[in-house]
């Protein structure tokens, strides 16, 4: 999986380890956080290894998957979770902001899918879960770059789902709404309260709630589900 050093990705890694899965994950650099996640997962009795990889970079994604296959032998599940924001009103958004966010969030899914597809094709099964966002469905103020990247993930996923289905490789998109993580930590409290008040369930989602949906979409519990876009957002409108 991509991006498990913190936030939703970390919760996904922990949840899958609890389910008994071996976990290979990446972040951009091998640092104390990555080592701590490795140790946390290994203490749960599974094989776990972190890799330094920039999944927005084609060659880096290829090298990451090559190493994982050498270390783990096979990959049954790919969770594309790595993502960033760089918000700005469209009037002020720079080309660099657009390219960076779309490059990380959308191109990474292309790079990782390209890298993993041959081995899943050969083994005749696999499940890919791509983390989108309700923002990719509804758009959002100051997030044209992020919304475009997440909407793009839906088109890419549905196309791959069609191409891979006959080979028993499923591709689905999970679209969380508002989930409190480091990504949302800079949002002023008043704005957070306004957003939360607009969610019918009156609260943000938790990283573990995202993780549980990932387990469902990744596992045989959803063995006849592919090409699905699943919003997970406490009943927010537009989603």
Token digits of residue 30: 């091998």
The tally of CA atoms less than 13 A away on the side-chain side of residue 137 is: 18
> Which stretch, 112-120, 174-182, 189-197, 212-220, contacts ligand NDP (CB under 6 A)?
174-182
* Binding-residue pattern over the window 29 to 48 for ligand NDP, x denoting contact by CB under 6 A: --------------------
> Which stretch, 1-9, 65-73, 93-101, 193-201, contacts ligand NDP (CB under 6 A)?
1-9
CB 112: neighbour CB atoms within 10 A? 27
Q: Is 79 in the site for ligand NDP (CB under 6 A)?
A: no
Near ligand NDP by CB under 6 A: residue from 21, 106, 129, 131:
131
57 and 111 Cβ atoms separated by less than 8 Å: yes
Q: Identify the residue whose tokens are 């008040």.
A: 197
Please give the full DSSP string across 107-136, using - where no structure is assigned: IHHHHHHHHHHHHHHHHT-EEEEEE--THH
Q: Is 234 in the site for ligand NDP (CB under 6 A)?
A: no
Question: Is 141 marked active-site?
Answer: no
Q: Is 3 in the site for ligand NDP (CB under 6 A)?
A: yes
51, 125, 146, 224: which one is catalytic?
A: 146
Q: Is 143 in the site for ligand NDP (CB under 6 A)?
A: no
Q: Is 49 in the site for ligand NDP (CB under 6 A)?
A: no
Near ligand NDP by CB under 6 A: residue from 18, 22, 28, 69:
28
Near ligand NDP by CB under 6 A: residue from 2, 113, 117, 222:
2
Please give the full DSSP string across 41-108, using - where no structure is assigned: HHTTTS-EEEEE--TTSHHHHHHHHHHHHHHHS--SEEEE---------TTT--HHHHHHHHIIIIIH
Q: Is 130 in the site for ligand NDP (CB under 6 A)?
A: no
**Burial class, 145, CB count within 10 angstroms (exposed 0-12 / middle 13-18 / buried 19+):** buried
Near ligand NDP by CB under 6 A: residue from 113, 127, 133, 143:
133
> Which stretch, 15-23, 116-124, 159-167, 177-185, contacts ligand NDP (CB under 6 A)?
177-185
Question: Which pairing describes strands 23-27 and 77-80: parallel, antiparallel, or unpaired?
Answer: unpaired
Give CA–CA dist 25/3, Å, rounded: 7
In residues, how long is the chain? 239
For the CB of residue 136, give the shortest distance to ligand NDP in the complex, in Å: 9
For the CB of residue 28, give the shortest distance to ligand NDP in the complex, in Å: 3
Residues that bind ligand NDP (CB under 6 A): 2-9, 26-28, 53-56, 81-84, 104, 131, 133, 176, 178-179, 181-184
């Amino acid at each position: 999986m991509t991006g498990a050093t913190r936030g939703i990705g970390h919760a996904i890694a922990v949840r899958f380890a609890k389910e008994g899965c071996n976990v290979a994950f990446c972040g951009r650099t091998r640092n104390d956080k990555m080592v701590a996640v490795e140790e946390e997962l290994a203490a749960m009795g599974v094989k776990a290894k972190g890799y330094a990889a920039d999944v927005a970079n084609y060659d880096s994604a290829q090298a990451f998957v090559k190493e994982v296959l050498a270390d783990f032998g096979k990959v049954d599940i790919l969770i594309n979770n790595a993502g960033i924001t760089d918000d700005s009103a469209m009037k002020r958004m720079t080309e660099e902001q657009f390219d960076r966010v779309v490059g990380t969030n959308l191109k990474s899914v292309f790079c990782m899918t390209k890298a993993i597809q041959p081995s899943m094709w050969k083994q005749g099964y696999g499940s890919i879960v791509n983390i989108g966002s309700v923002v990719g469905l509804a758009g959002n103020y100051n997030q044209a770059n992020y919304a475009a990247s997440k909407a793009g993930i839906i088109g890419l996923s549905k196309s791959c789902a069609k191409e891979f289905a006959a080979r028993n490789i499923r591709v689905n998109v999970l679209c969380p709404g508002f989930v409190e993580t480091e990504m949302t930590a800079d949002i002023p409290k008043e704005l957070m309260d306004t957003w939360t008040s607009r969610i019918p369930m009156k609260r943000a989602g938790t990283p573990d709630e995202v993780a549980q949906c990932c387990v469902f979409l990744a596992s045989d519990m959803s063995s006849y589900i592919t090409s699905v876009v699943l919003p997970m957002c406490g009943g927010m409108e537009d989603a």
